[in-house]
Structures are given as structure tokens and as C-alpha cells.
Amino acid sequence: AQSVTQLGSHVSVSEGALVLLRCNYSSSVPPYLFWYVQYPNQGLQLLLKYTSAATLVKGINGFEAEFKKSETSFHLTKPSAHMSDAAEYFCAVSEPGANSKLTFGKGITLSVRP
Amino acid sequence: DVKVTQSSRYLVKRTGEKVFLECVQDMDHENMFWYRQDPGLGLRLIYFSYDVKMKEKGDIPEGYSVSREKKERFSLILESASTNQTSMYLCASSTANQPQHFGDGTRLSIL
């Protein structure tokens, strides 16, 4: 069975500050990992994915995440927050070949202060 | 770009009604999924389908059923709506080992 832990429900940063959203996973096989973003009243949009290639993954809007097997982590970072980054962020895990079925974390809301 | 279209953005129904939520994708994806999203609980998988007329239960299938008669369309059915099914419902589609693409969601209120 797979699971995803996103600690905390809300993170607040100042505009221009580093964004760090944490994600830890458990999986019995080498996983695929994803970060999705959800803006208000919209569906989920893929930010980036890890599928067993490079461990540092770059995504859209300046976000990146690093897969660390020893820590079972896949934390999302962005060097400088922008007001438009305010949204809810979900980390998700799947097993390769499992019809791309995802297990999601509970999500974390990012607020950006001017 | 993949387009996943959910038939309604907002829907209000009464307890006991049979409710249909429709989802259509335009990329010939074999996999389709229905989730519900509730504050503090993230997304929970209700049902998914990996082929026409095939379906599998997700984590919370009770009170729901699905139908997939055509590859592009996946319907979620609330047999007898109850107030605890008030939620945001999200549909997604994918092809093998590729990320899921999501619709904009249907916010369903059961009164």
C-alpha cells in the first residue's frame, strides 16, 4: 500500500521568499511521484513529475522537487515566491504500471504575503 | 492539450434523488477516474476504469456507481443522494504511466 504525508495544512511566505512544501511517501516499490497545484475553483494542474530518471525534477512556474530515496521525500521548492503562487498543492504517489492510479496527500495551502 | 470536461460546475440536488455526473475526455485515454475532494481530506478515489465497460472500486465506493459505455465518457452515479455526499467531485483521465489530467470539478450540494 502507498501513502503520502504532507505535514501541516497551511504555509505562509512573503513575496520573494523561498517556498518549501514537504512531502514524504511510503511505497513498496520504486514509486512515481507528482506535485499538482489547484487554484481556486479549478481542477488540478500538474506541476512536475518524477518517474525514475533524474532525481532533481524541474516543473512549471519555477518549481522544482528532489527525489530522496533515503529520506522517502519529494519536497517542492521555489526560490522566490510570487503572489500568483497562492494555491493548494498536492503531492501524489503511484506505482509504475498500476494504471496510473494515484494516492494523494491531504494537500497544503500556500499563502503569499505582499 | 488534453481536455477533460465535466458537465456541470455547480449542481444542487435533493436527498434521495438519483444524480448523474458526466465526464468526457478528448485524448483517447484508456484510464479514467472519479475523486471527491473534501477540506482536510485531500482527494479520495471513488472509482476508476481502465477500459470501456471495465470498472474498479477505489477507496470510497459506497453510495456510488459508475458507467463507461464509451471510451471518452465516464459517468458517476449517486443512486440515492445523501447530504454527506455534498462535496467537490473531480474527474481525471490518463494513459499508461502518464500523469492524470483533471477536469475543473463539479461542486455538488445535496439539500
Per-residue pLDDT of chain A (114 residues; tens, 9 = 90+): 789 999 889 999 999 999 999 999 998 888 899 999 999 888 999 999 998 778 899 999 999 999 999 999 999 999 999 999 999 999 999 887 766 788 999 999 999 999
Q: Which residues of chain B lie closer than 8 angstroms to A87, CB-CB?
A: none
pLDDT at B58: 93
Decide if B103 contacts B6 (C-beta within 8 A). yes
List Cβ neighbours of B1 (8 Å cut-off, separation of 6 or more): none
B99 and A90 within 8 Å at the Cβ level: the answer is no
Chain A partners within 8 Å of B92 (Cβ): 44
Size of interface A-B (CB pairs under 8 A): 61
| Chain B residues with beta carbon closer than 8 angstroms to that of A46 | 99-101
Give the pLDDT of residue B101: 93
Torsion (CA) B69, B70, B74, B76 in degrees, nearest 10: -20
Helical spans, DSSP H, in A19-112: none
Cα–Cα distance, B20 to A89 (Å, whole number): 28
Residues 6+ apart with CB under 8 A from B55: B47, B48, B49, B66, B68
With beta carbons under 8 A apart, name residues in chain A contacting B4. Answer: 43
Asked if B27 and B101 touch (Cβ cutoff 8 Å), the reply is yes
| CA distance linking residue A48 with residue B94, whole number of Å | 15
Query: Which of A32, A43, A106 comes nearest B102 by C-beta?
Result: A43
Q: Which stretches of chain B score pLDDT less than 50? A: none
Q: Which of A31, A14, A2, A18 is nearest to A76 (CA)?
A: A18
Type of residue at B107: R
Question: What's the confidence (pLDDT) of residue A109?
Answer: 96
Is residue B90 less than 8 Å (CB to CB) from chain A?
yes
Contact A42 B104 (CB under 8 A): yes
Across the interface, do B48 and A34 touch by the CB < 8 Å criterion? no
d(CA B62, CA A72): 32
- Substitution target in B102, B104, B106 with the highest count of A β-carbons within 10 Å is B102
Q: What is the DSSP letter of A31?
A: P
SS3 A83: helix
What is d(CA A19, CA A42) in angstroms, rounded to the nearest whole number? Answer: 22
